Amino acid sequence: MAVPIAVLDCDLLLYGRGHRTLDRFKLEDVTDEYLVSTYGFPRQFIYYLVDLLGASLSRPTQRSRAISPETQILAALGFYTSGSFQTRMGDAIGISQASMSRCVANVTEALVERASQFIHFPEDEATVQSLKDDFYGLAGMPGVLGVVDCTHVAIKAPNAEDLSYVNRKGLHSLNCLMVCDARGVLLSAETHWPGSLPDYTVLQQAALTSQFETELHKDGWLLGDSSFFLRTWLMTPLHIPETPAEYRYNMAHSATHNVIERTFRTIRSRFRCLDGSKGTLQYSPEKSSHIILACCVLHNISLEHGLDVWSSSATGHVEQPEEEYEQMESMDSEACRIRQELLLTHFS
C-alpha cells in the first residue's frame, strides 16, 4: 500500500486541487462570449474585480489561500449568475465543489466590505440636482431623490424554528428594502429583514428612515407605493384620486416608481441565485443576506461599466409574496400638506 501513496502529486497534497490545476484556465485563453455565458461578465469586468478584491482574497489566513483571486472570483460569479455549484463549472477552473463554496464565501465577504463604496446616496449638490433632473425627465415628478420598495428572496428554513422568516405565502424569505435612481443604480440596500415583516414595518425600523429623518436632503423625497405611510420625505400615491390633478399625480408617481420594479427584475435576471429557479439560498439568514448584498454591489459596479442596464428576460420561479396590505393612511399633517402643495404646484 505504500507505493500508491508515494506517487501522489505533492502539489495536490501541499496546496489542494485548486493550486494544482490553476494554470489550466487562463482568462486570456477564452473568449468574452464564453466568459459571459459561463460567468455572466466579460473579461475586462473580471479583471476589474481582480484588482478591486485581490488584496482581500489573498489573505494568508484564508483556507483557500492556494487559489488565486482570479479563480475565486470566477467561482463566485459562476454561482451568483447560475444559482448552483455545478461540478462542470468547478472542473472548468480546476477546483472542487467544496472549494467553490469557500470561494463564494470569500468573494461575498470582500464585496460586502465594499458595499458603502458602491451603494450610497450622492452628497454634493450638483449630483443631487442631476438625480432629481433624471427622475423629472421620466414622468414629470419633481424633487425625487430615489424610489423605494421591498422584494423577497427565498432562503432555506433556519436551523432554529424561527417563524419570523415565514412570509405570507408560508415560505421562508428575507424582505429586502432597496432604493434606486432613475438608471436603476442602487442608492440603499438593506437585505437582512425577516420575511414575515410587512414592508411598512421594515421601513419603519430601517436605517434608511433614520437617514432621511435626521441627516439627508430636506428639499426632496423618495417615492414609495401604497404599502408605505406618507411622510414628509416619502411621497405615496393617493388612495382614491378624484380630481384631474390627483390622477396626473398618481400616473406620474406610478411611471416613476416603476423604475424599482425594473431594477428588481434586472438583478434577478443577472443573478439567478436570487430568482428561485435553482431553489432557495441554502444558507443561514445572515449569510444569505450577505450574498444578496454582494449581488447588489455587483449590480452597481456593472452599471458603472455600462453593462446590461435593463433586462426584460424571464426570471424563473421568483418566490415573492404578493402584498396584501390595506391602504396606509398617514396621520402626518405636514406630509399631507407637502403632497397637496405638490399637487397644486405641479399637477393642477
Q: Domain extents for the chain?
A: 32-58+67-116, 120-284+330-347
Name every residue whose Cβ is closer than 8 Å to that of residue 122 and which is 6 or more positions away in sequence. 128, 130, 131, 187
Looking at residue 296, its pLDDT comes to 98
* Cβ proximity of 325 and 225 under 8 Å: no
- How remote is the C-alpha of 11 from its chain's centroid? 39
pLDDT at 122 over 60: yes
Prediction pTM value? 0.86
Q: Among the residues of the chain, which ranges form H helices?
A: 2-6, 10-15, 17-21, 32-39, 43-57, 69-82, 87-93, 97-113, 115-118, 125-139, 199-205, 207-214, 244-270, 285-304, 333-342
pLDDT of residue 143: 95
Q: Please tell me whether residue 242 adopts helix, strand or coil conformation.
A: coil
* Residue 18 near residue 66, CB atoms below 8 Å: yes
Written as nine digits, the cell of 312 is: 426584460
Q: Give the pLDDT of residue 223.
A: 98
Residues pairing with 149 in the sheet: 178
**pLDDT tier at 128 (50, 70, 90 boundaries)?**
very high
Q: Which stretches does DSSP call E strand in the chain?
A: 144-154, 173-180, 186-194, 221-223, 234-235
What are the CA-CA distances from residue 298 to residues 67, 116, 186 (Å)? 21, 12, 10
* DSSP state at residue 158: P
Contact 25, 34 (CB under 8 A): no
Phi, psi of 285 (to 5 degrees): -55, -40
Query: What pLDDT band is residue 73 in, cutting at 50, 70 and 90?
Result: very high
Span 314-338, pLDDT tens digits: 444 444 444 544 555 556 899 999 9
Report the C-alpha gap between 233 and 165 in whole angstroms: 29
Query: Can you give the pLDDT at residue 6?
Result: 33
CB 291 within 8 A of CB 108: yes
Kindly indicate the confidence band of residue 313, based on its pLDDT and cuts at 50, 70 and 90. very low
Cβ count near 28 (within 10 Å): 5
Give CA–CA dist 183/212, Å, rounded.
21
Distant-in-sequence contacts of 82-88, Cβ < 8 A, 24+ apart: 82/40, 82/272, 82/273, 82/278, 83/272, 83/273, 83/274, 83/275, 83/277, 83/278, 83/279, 84/278
The answer to which of 56-70, 97-111, 132-146 has the lowest mean pLDDT is 56-70
Q: Per-residue confidence at 45, pLDDT binned at 50, 70, 90?
A: very high
Reported as a pLDDT band with limits 50, 70 and 90, residue 83 is confident
CA torsion, ordered 181, 186, 190, 193, to nearest 10 deg: 80
The amino acid occupying position 344 is L
CA atoms of 290 and 276, how far apart (whole Å): 17
Q: In the predicted model, what is the mean pLDDT of residues 189-209?
A: 96
**Stretch among 65-74, 165-174, 287-296, 309-318 having the lowest mean pLDDT:** 309-318
